[in-house]
């Protein structure tokens, strides 16, 4: 398998810094990636397969101007970090964000552990409307700043819970342990969330992008812009043309050449939505 094209990836995210495996490099890449490569699930929504091999990830997310969800985002990010020289481990998590109390979700979210100068960090560029924009030290019960919200990791037995500080309240996003996951694990999880008839990724349009000072999120036809000062602008996109415009403008997404796309987007303007971005 050919190595990831770092030059093309750096152009995609607008990175012009050094290529040494330092904390400065990791922080810069982690900040720029979610600004340039949006979270989106158009392929499973359209009934198209989601491919996780490095060549497919590079073609879709780097060269075609698309985004993706957690497996695509973090597997691509892992390829980049490993090419630079970072030791990286893939993990899996159970989502807690917007999940009712007492409901246990399967381990279908992917995140990364990255070692920098013998210090382990959590990296995750693929968690929708609350995607991290900076790495976190794997240190429990410490509030850590990022370019966006503060985050913290709370110890829960042998596991950790990632929390985000939203409007002065700590909100749990997901729970994970430190068991290594390998490519076949992600292939199984990916097949499940991209094809199960009750999966949110099959039934709803989700998009998210971090920008300096704000976050954009889209659930079906409901667009939200959350500002770091605590304010939010929310609106409903009434037509297919408005959804297309938002995906291309706010989310900087090159839309796939799919004849059925407009029919799918039309359906999303007709029904109610559940909460995606809080």
Q: What's the rounded mean pLDDT across residues 227-235?
A: 91
Going by their DSSP bridges, the two strands 136-137 and 88-95 should be labelled as: unpaired
Q: Please determine, for residue 206, whether its predicted confidence score (pLDDT) is greater than 80.
A: yes
pLDDT at 269: 86
Distances (CA, A) of 252 to 69, 80, 166: 15, 21, 25
Residue of 30, 70, 121, 148 with catalytic role: 70
Q: Which residue out of 33, 121, 124, 226 is catalytically annotated?
A: 124
Report d(CA 168, CA 30) in Å as an integer: 24
Distance CA 1, CA 229 (A): 45
- Indicate the pTM of the whole model: 0.95
Give 126-142 pLDDT, tens digit per residue: 999 999 999 999 999 99
Tell me the per-residue pLDDT of 3-49, one tens digit each, with 9 for 90 and over.
899 999 999 999 999 999 999 999 999 999 999 999 999 999 999 99
The model's pLDDT over 146-183, given as tens digits with 9 standing for 90+, comes to: 999 999 999 999 999 999 999 889 999 999 999 999 99
pLDDT band at 271 (very low <50, low <70, confident <90, very high): low
Tell me the C-alpha distance between 47 and 202, whole Å.
7
- Which of 30, 33, 43, 109 is catalytic? The answer is 109
Q: Does 57 have pLDDT greater than 90?
A: yes
**Is residue 227 annotated as part of the catalytic site, yes or no?**
no
């Amino acid at each position: 398998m050919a190595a990831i094209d770092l030059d093309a990836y750096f152009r995609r995210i607008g990175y012009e810094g050094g290529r040494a495996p330092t904390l400065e490099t990791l922080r810069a890449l982690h900040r720029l990636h979610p600004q340039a490569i949006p979270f989106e699930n158009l392929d499973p929504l359209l009934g198209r397969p989601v491919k996780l091999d490095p060549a497919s990830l590079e073609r879709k997310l780097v060269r075609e101007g698309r985004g993706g969800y957690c497996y695509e985002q973090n597997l691509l990010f892992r390829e980049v970090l490993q090419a630079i020289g970072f030791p990286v481990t893939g993990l899996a998590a159970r989502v807690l964000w917007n999940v009712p109390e007492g409901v246990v979700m399967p381990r279908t979210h992917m995140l990364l552990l990255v070692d920098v100068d013998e210090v382990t960090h959590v990296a995750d560029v693929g968690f929708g409307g609350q995607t991290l924009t900076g790495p976190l030290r794997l240190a429990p019960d410490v509030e850590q700043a990022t370019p966006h919200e503060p985050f913290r990791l709370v110890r829960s037995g042998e596991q950790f819970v990632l929390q985000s500080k939203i409007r002065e309240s700590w909100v749990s996003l997901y729970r994970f342990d430190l068991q290594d996951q390998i490519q076949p694990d992600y292939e199984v999880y990916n097949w499940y969330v991209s094809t199960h008839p009750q999966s949110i990724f099959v039934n709803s349009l989700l998009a998210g992008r971090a920008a300096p000072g704000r976050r954009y999120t889209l659930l079906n036809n409901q667009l939200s812009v959350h500002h770091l000062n605590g304010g939010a602008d929310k609106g409903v996109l009434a037509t297919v043309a408005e959804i297309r415009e938002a995906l291309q403008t706010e989310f900087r997404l090159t839309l796939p050449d799919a004849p059925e796309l407009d029919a799918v987007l039309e359906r999303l303007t007709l029904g109610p939505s559940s909460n995606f971005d809080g």
